């Protein structure tokens, strides 16, 4: 009893947790669940409930804690603590100098770094938390739907969350099975298990008794292929295509097939290439900054020791301690300046801006860092159905009779285009063709322009609708009096037939009409007449007409179209009593002869813009591979249409069974050239992904089925489909493509490159500031008699933190452009800072150091200042150096908008309002600080000539940047010894 109570309590908590994810307004099933849990406690205890334990989501505090483990942030935390401690010491000590003792602002820098750390951590954590919460809510709402079940002899609609083992579940076309079951009653029931097993053919489902009876017949068993054999087992996650049925539920929740796969995918993601590079950079900066600080400390200590030995300074103990502390402060200031405080924020802002805007491009980013990984993708393994194609079988070509032909392909595509009729078919003939399309379809409309059921029949229904035909139900009700007999599709006959009692429109006479649809070669063979464009029919000349029709069929087949022949025959009389005894209509229709209506070519057409998107990927150095469960002929044709398969360039098409048997040596030769993998299983896709990753490729994979989970998880970036994708696929993916379109994946690639570029742009800007500031602080401290840097701590705070933070936002908001796809992806081992970036960082640093030192050591002569005798002139000089340095950073932001030696750094500037706003804020802030900063920033108001000098000095960054972009990188390489 105690155990039962524990189980009930655990299940109740599970339900409440899921309800909390969905929201109270969406969790109407909760009361129903509580009732069922008590009424059927024994079932719940033994078999569980149809709710998966929600993935253990991280709390907000745990996300914050994880964010603080970033190496760059750890470096900042150490610098902040040291800076804050020394700042507080400087503020509380008494030096006897009224000016120094009155400035209680030394703590501000350390505190400001702590604020920056808090901002970075909170932005990253809030973004991750909201994305995960949004994704969980989206899935929870999608999975909670109503199904019809029989329980305790009563039929009712209940939530999928309330399904229990032992329920009798009613199955209809379009249903996605929410639990495992065994069929106990069915009528022409077929399921699509491709998302679960990878088998693309529809699987027939029958009662256990029928399957056993079938298995006992050796003749039938040998004639039927394994993919056509019926079985009684329904797998959760599969979709019902045709027919109706009932099943007894045998497994729910985490015990079901679907649930077990979902639970197996809950693993952590590996660090991305950019994260790895930034961690390495953080370590390098920490070492270099520490080395610079240590060197400065040693130099200043030696200098002080020399002065002490010459009795140039006081030997009083308190004075000695005070001097040593001042030296330590200067050394620590250099270390703090060397650390790029804005870099973590730049990365976070770039990713946050990208993920927000990517949603507008139909990409829901689940793993924040995946967008930057996508920028370096070197290969995309894409599904065919639904991603490259529309996942909607469509009539794209056909002939009505032997004269009128139509095609959605451009003229000149094939030989049949030259044989078009001079006039369109008569309305009466089109009516007959429409009736043929709707007479045998069992589909029911699920949306305004789509139907459920056989893909062939839904294609014909859509074609009928495109011709302006009324609703198919109206056609049936208007003309058909009675459905006499249906002979379903048979692989032996390769056709299906429907006999109806119909009122003929021409004369209003009641006749029995036989509609036949199937493989053209079989249908044509039974035809004695063929219609012409006027609707009349004539006896076909088997020598010439059959040759023309077969040529048409061959033409369609060469384009990998599925061909369907349609025919009919009217009978003035028919013995309905004997119809039930006719097992097949073949002999009857061949003896009577049929009227050939025409031939249709059906395919799943490419999505708009896919060919262009594939071409752009290839120009960007990204290899696009098609991995599909379809047969080789269809896969090759679609891959050729969209430009993936290029046999002239050594491309290879391979089938899954052959791929599995390849040796390691064969893989080394074949996989780099492999462009299409047909008839592939989920295991084939996973093997391909793992091989590519082990050979240094950055792999992105698309998938929509449950069986794609392992491959999605194995890839660097997994794309699941938002419309056709299962929950398993979405759970395993990094990005959900909301419109299932390959073009959106290309947009994601552009956004990834934008993120990488934004981080590099900021890094180029930040390191220029840091290198210059460290050199100036080092030299000025060593040269100053009191070991003071020309920049105060609060001035460096404005330059190194506030302005850099603004720069991070400005440089992270440039939108992606198509030019991003004109270059190849970076290799995984490539340096984060490229040679071109170093050229600009060093070039601009030299300019800034030269200008600042000229200002510092030549301003007395230029502006007739007396800095040695006059402390006010010294304050003016320090303010002038600070102002000039700040303006050089403002102008250098424009240079950093380009990375690859593009000449125009103002391109698109007017469209980035963030950038313009931030430049304006930086200018206004600088003016306020200089003119009214006073004691806090240790500045004094400058006159017009000083402002002109500062702005002119800063403006030099633009022409120097242009010169650096014009100098070829190869020339610099050649000059380096």
Closest CA to 764 of 819, 808, 828, 826: 808
| C-beta separation of 626 from 644 below 8 A | yes
The neighbouring-strand residues paired with 407 are 397
Contacts of residue 24, defined as CB under 8 A and 6 or more positions apart, other chains included, come to: none
760 close to 832: Cβ distance less than 8 angstroms: yes
**Assigned token pair, 373:** 């990984």
Nearest to 678 by CA among 646, 716, 637: 637
Q: What burial class does residue 638 get, using C-beta atoms within 10 Å of its C-beta: 0-12 exposed, 13-18 middle, 19+ buried?
A: buried
CA angle 868, 870, 875 (to 5 degrees): 95
Catalytic residue among 180, 383, 479, 814: 383
Q: For tokens 């700042």, name the residue.
A: 87
Structure tokens that stand for 52 in this block: 């998966």
Which own/partner contact pairs does 74-81 have at CB distance under 8 Å and 24+ positions apart?
Answer: 74/282, 75/282, 75/285, 75/286, 75/339, 76/113, 76/116, 76/117, 76/339, 76/341, 76/344, 77/117, 79/113, 79/332, 79/335, 79/336, 79/339, 80/110, 80/111, 80/113, 80/114, 80/117, 81/110
**What is the distance in angstroms between the CA of the first residue and the CA of the last residue of the chain?**
84
Instruction: Show the tokens assigned to 727.
Output: 């929950």
- Identify the residue whose tokens are 């006719």: 582
Is 383 labeled as catalytic in the residue annotation? yes
With beta carbons less than 8 A apart as the criterion, state whether 368 and 129 touch: no
Residue 67's CB is within 10 A of a number of other CB atoms, namely 19
Give the torsion through C-alpha atoms of 128, 131, 132, 138, to 10 deg.
Answer: 180
Task: Please say whether the dihedral angle defined by the alpha carbons of residues 309, 311, 315 and 321, taken in this order, is positive or negative.
Answer: negative
Residue 387 near residue 381 (C-beta atoms within 8 A): no
Q: List the beta bridge partners of residue 495.
A: 490, 518
Cβ neighbours, 10 Å, residue 332 = 21
Residue 156 DSSP SS3:
strand
What is the enclosing helix (H) or strand (E) of 860? helix 835-863
For 410, which DSSP code?
P
Dist. CA 765–CA 776, nearest whole Å: 17
Q: Spell out the alpha helix ranges (H) of 60-188.
A: 60-67, 71-92, 98-101, 107-143
User: Do 476 and 438 form a contact (C-beta atoms < 8 A)?
Assistant: yes
Interatomic CA distance for residues 77 and 636, integer angstroms: 57
> Hey, which residues does 159 pair with through a beta bridge?
146
Query: How many CB atoms neighbour CB 170 within 10 A?
Result: 17
How far is residue 358's CA from residue 351's CA, in Å, rounded to a whole number? 10
Half-sphere exposure in the Cβ direction for 753 (13 Å, CA): 25
Q: How far apart are CA 774 and CA 818, in angstroms?
A: 38
- Cα–Cα distance measured from residue 663 to residue 450, given in angstroms and rounded to the nearest whole number: 45
**Lookup result for tokens 């032996």:** 492
Question: Do 715 and 379 meet the contact criterion of CB atoms below 8 Å apart?
Answer: no
Catalytic residues: 383
């Amino acid at each position: 009893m105690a155990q039962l109570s524990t189980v009930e309590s655990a299940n109740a908590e599970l339900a409440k947790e899921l309800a909390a994810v969905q929201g109270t307004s969406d969790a109407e099933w909760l009361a129903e669940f509580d009732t069922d849990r008590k009424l059927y406690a024994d079932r719940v205890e033994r078999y569980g409930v149809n709710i998966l334990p929600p993935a253990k989501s991280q709390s907000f505090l745990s996300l914050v804690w994880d964010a603080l483990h970033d190496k760059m942030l750890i470096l900042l935390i150490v610098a902040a603590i040291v800076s804050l401690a020394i700042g507080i010491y400087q503020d509380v000590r008494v030096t006897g100098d009224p000016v120094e003792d009155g400035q209680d602002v030394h703590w501000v820098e350390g505190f400001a770094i702590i604020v920056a750390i808090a901002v970075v951590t909170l932005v990253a954590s809030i973004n991750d938390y909201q994305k995960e919460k949004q994704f969980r809510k989206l899935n929870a709402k999608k999975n909670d739907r109503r199904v019809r079940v029989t329980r305790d002899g009563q039929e009712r609609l209940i939530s999928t969350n309330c399904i229990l083992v032992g329920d009798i579940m009613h199955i209809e076309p379009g249903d996605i099975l929410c639990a495992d079951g065994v069929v106990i009653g069915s009528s022409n029931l077929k399921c699509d298990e491709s998302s679960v097993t990878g088998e693309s053919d529809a699987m027939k489902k029958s009662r256990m008794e029928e399957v056993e009876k079938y298995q006992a017949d050796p003749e039938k068993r040998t004639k039927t292929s394994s993919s056509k054999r019926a079985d009684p087992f329904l797998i959760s996650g599969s979709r019902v295509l045709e027919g109706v049925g009932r099943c007894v539920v045998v497994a729910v929740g985490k015990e079901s097939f679907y649930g077990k796969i979902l639970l197996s995918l809950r693993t952590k993601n590996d660090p991305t290439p950019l994260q790895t590079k930034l961690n390495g950079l953080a370590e390098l900066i920490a070492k270099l900054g520490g080395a610079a600080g240590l060197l400065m400390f040693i130099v200043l200590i030696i200098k002080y020791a020399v002065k002490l030995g010459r009795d140039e300074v006081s030997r009083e103990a308190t004075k000695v301690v005070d001097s040593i502390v001042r030296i330590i402060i200067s050394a620590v200031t250099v270390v703090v300046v060397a650390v790029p405080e804005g870099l973590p924020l730049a990365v976070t802002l770039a990713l946050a801006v990208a993920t927000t805007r990517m949603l507008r491009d139909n990409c829901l980013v689940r793993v924040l860092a995946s967008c930057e990984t996508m920028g370096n993708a070197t290969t995309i393994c894409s599904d065919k159905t639904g991603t490259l194609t529309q996942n909607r079988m469509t009539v794209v070509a056909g002939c009505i009779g032997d004269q009128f032909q139509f095609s959605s392909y451009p003229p000149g595509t094939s030989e049949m285009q030259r044989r078009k009729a001079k006039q369109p078919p008569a309305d009466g003939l089109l009516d007959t063709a429409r009736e043929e399309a709707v007479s045998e379809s069992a589909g029911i409309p699920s949306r305004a322009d789509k139907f459920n059921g056989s893909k062939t029949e839904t294609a014909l229904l859509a074609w009928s609708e495109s011709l302006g035909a009324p609703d198919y139900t109206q056609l049936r009700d208007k003309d058909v009096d009675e459905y006499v007999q249906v002979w379903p599709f048979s692989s032996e006959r390769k056709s299906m037939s429907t006999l109806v009692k119909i009122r003929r429109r021409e004369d209003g006479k009641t006749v029995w009409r036989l509609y036949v649809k199937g493989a053209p070669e079989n249908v044509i063979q039974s035809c004695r007449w063929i219609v012409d464009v006027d609707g009349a029919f004539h006896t076909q000349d088997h020598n010439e007409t059959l040759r023309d029709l077969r040529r048409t069929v061959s033409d369609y087949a060469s384009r990998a179209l599925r061909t369907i022949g349609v025919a009919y025959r009217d009978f003035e009389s028919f013995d309905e009593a004997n119809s039930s005894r006719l097992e097949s209509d073949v002999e009857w229709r061949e003896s009577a002869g049929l009227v050939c209506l025409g031939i249709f070519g059906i395919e799943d057409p490419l999505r708009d813009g896919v060919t262009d998107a594939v071409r752009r990927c290839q120009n960007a150095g990204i290899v696009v591979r098609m991995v599909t469960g379809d047969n080789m002929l269809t896969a090759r044709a679609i891959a050729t249409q969209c430009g993936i398969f290029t046999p002239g360039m050594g491309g290879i098409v391979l089938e899954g069974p052959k791929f599995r048997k390849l040796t390691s040596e064969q893989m080394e030769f074949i996989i780099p050239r492999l462009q299409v993998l047909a008839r592939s299983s989920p295991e084939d896709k996973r093997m391909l992904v793992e091989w590519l990753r082990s050979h240094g490729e950055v792999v992105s994979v698309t998938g929509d089925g449950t069986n794609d989970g392992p491959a999605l998880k194995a890839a660097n970036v997994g794309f699941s489909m938002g419309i056709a994708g299962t929950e398993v696929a979405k759970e395993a993916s990094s990005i959900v493509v909301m419109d299932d379109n390959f073009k959106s994946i290309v947009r994601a690639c552009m956004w990834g490159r934008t993120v990488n570029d934004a981080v590099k742009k900021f890094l180029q800007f930040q390191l220029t500031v840091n290198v210059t500031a460290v050199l100036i602080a080092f030299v000025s401290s060593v040269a100053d008699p009191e070991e003071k840097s020309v920049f105060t701590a609060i001035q460096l705070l404005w330059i190194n933190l506030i302005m850099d933070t603004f720069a991070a936002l400005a440089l992270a908001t440039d939108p992606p452009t198509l030019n991003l796809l004109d270059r190849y992806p970076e290799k995984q081992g490539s340096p984060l800072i490229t040679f071109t970036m170093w050229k600009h960082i060093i070039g601009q640093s030299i300019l800034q150091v030269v200008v600042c030192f000229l200002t510092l050591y030549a301003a007395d002569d230029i502006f007739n200042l007396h800095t040695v005798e006059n402390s006010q002139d010294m304050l003016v000089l320090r303010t002038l150096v600070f102002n000039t340095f700040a303006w050089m950073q403002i102008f250098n932001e424009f240079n950093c908008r380009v990375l690859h030696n593009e000449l125009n750094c103002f391109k698109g500037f007017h469209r980035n309002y963030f950038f313009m706003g931030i430049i304006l804020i930086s200018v206004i802030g600088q003016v306020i600080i200089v003119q009214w900063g006073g004691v806090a920033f240790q500045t004094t108001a400058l006159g017009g000539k000083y402002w002109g000098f500062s702005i002119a000095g800063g403006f030099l960054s633009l022409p120097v940047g242009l010169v650096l972009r014009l100098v070829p990188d190869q020339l610099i390489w050649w000059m380096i010894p």
